[in-house]
Amino acid sequence: MRVLIHLDGSVADPDAPQVRVDDLGLLRGDGVFETVLVSGGHARELDKHLDRLERSASMLDMDTPDRQAWQRAVAAAIERWPEGSEMALKLVYTRGLDSDPSAGPTAFALGIEVSEGLLRARAEGIAVVTLERGIDTDLAARAPWLLLGAKSLSYGINMAAMREAERRGAEDVIFTAGDGTVLEGPIANVVVADGGTLYTPPPSIGILPGTTQAGLFRAAERAGWSTKIEPLRIEDLRGADGVFLTSSIRKVTRVHTLDGVQLPDSRTLHAELAAAYESEYPG
Ligand code: PLP
């Protein structure tokens, strides 16, 4: 099941050709995107996703996305999606055509199903490996042209890292900086639970500010947890009560094994945090 809505509101066939071959999103990964989870007919954290789309577009010197048009496209996609199953809704916004810059951005919302693998990972947890990302934690501030912290369409490195994880018998990655500081996953943020506090690294080190991490922290605070946004090191992960990867599609996924070593059993903790996170949203 898939649904495709162009930003002008037109409904299109996701199995038919839609994008020109000289689209700069296709030729150069030059564009930005978001992936929104729609559950029970509700688009989770839509405002925050649209804020981040705007921020990413601004980092790439692209025109400000038309917020109301995106809201309408999201509503149209939800209307066409069958009740009862989750939708991963990708909002894609490219720089448009190489041959005709005046044509403006290419923009569409594509709804797809959440894969069986991701659903299983949410329920059972995952093995993760740490991989070097080759950046320093002050690079984002020093070199804004590297677009660290923008959700650009250039995810080739992220996907290569996921394949490397698979080669090492794991299902996901935690990127580290040269000095061993924890960054993020290729498609998720890192959250650590220890002694009644949740920790996540600050976006200033060149990672995405996660909408799921923020939703989880809000929910956890309501449930009595304290939360801290501060740098983490790999050693902090190994001894913690729980390590989680959070993303719109992963939700709160438990890491049970890190670099081949089993972590302390965090199943009860995970159930508590996952329930708190779910309670944030209708449906
Ligand atoms: N970090 C990266 C690199 C991502 O691609 C994503 C989401 O896809 C996230 C973090 C998590 O963001 P969110 O929770 O807003 O989905």
Name the domain count of the chain. 2
87 ligand 1 Cβ < 6 A: no
Query: In whole angstroms, what is the distance from residue 114 CA to residue 109 CA?
Result: 15
Position in ligand 1 atom list of the atom nearest CA 211? 15
What's the CA-to-centroid distance between 53 and ligand 1, angstroms?
12
Q: Is residue 283 in some structural domain?
A: no
Print the domain residue range for 141.
Answer: 119-278
Whether residues 43 and 137 fall in one domain: no
Whether the complex's predicted ipTM is more than 0.95 is answered with yes
How far is 265 from 278, CA to CA, in rounded Å?
Answer: 21
**H or E element, residue 259:** none
Q: Is the minimum distance from the CB of 246 to ligand 1 under 6 angstroms? A: yes
How far, in Å, is the centroid of ligand 1 from the Cα of 99? 32
41 inside domain: yes
Judge whether 69 lies within some domain.
yes
Looking at 61, 93, 114, the residue that finishes a domain is 114
Residue 168 maps to a domain: yes
At 189-199, the pLDDT tens digits run 999 999 999 99
Residue 156: predicted pLDDT: 97
With a 6 Å cutoff on the Cβ, whether 200 touches ligand 1 is no
Are 127 and 257 members of one domain? yes
Is 253 close to ligand 1, i.e. is its CB under 6 Å away?
no
Q: How much is the pLDDT for 112?
A: 98
Residues 110 and 141 in one domain: no
CA proximity to 210, closest of 222, 198, 225, 224: 198
The residue whose CA is least distant from atom 9 of ligand 1 is 188
Q: What's the CATH code of the domain at 88?
A: 3.30.470.10
pLDDT of residue 108: 98
Q: Which tens digit of pLDDT belongs to each residue from 50-74?
A: 999 999 999 999 999 999 999 999 9
Query: What pLDDT sits at residue 263?
Result: 98
Within its chain, how far is the Cα of 157 from the centroid? Answer: 15
Give the nearest ligand 1 atom to 158 CA: 3
Please check whether residues 86 and 211 belong to one and the same domain. Answer: no
Domain's final residue, options 71, 87, 114 = 114
Minimum CA distance residue for ligand 1 atom 2? 187
Q: Do 174 and 139 fall within a single domain?
A: yes
Quote the CA–CA distance of 158 and 185 in Å, as a whole number: 8
Residue 24 lies in a domain: yes
The segments of the chain whose pLDDT lies below 70 read 283
Residue 105: per-residue pLDDT: 97
**Contact between residue 4 and residue 17 where contact means Cβ atoms under 8 Å apart:** no
145 and 267 in a common domain: yes
pLDDT of residue 62: 97
**Cα-to-centroid distance, 100 and ligand 1 (Å):** 31
CATH classification at residue 270: 3.20.10.10
Residue 37's DSSP bridge partners are 88
Bridge partners (DSSP) listed for residue 247? 251
Predicted confidence at residue 69, as pLDDT, reads 98
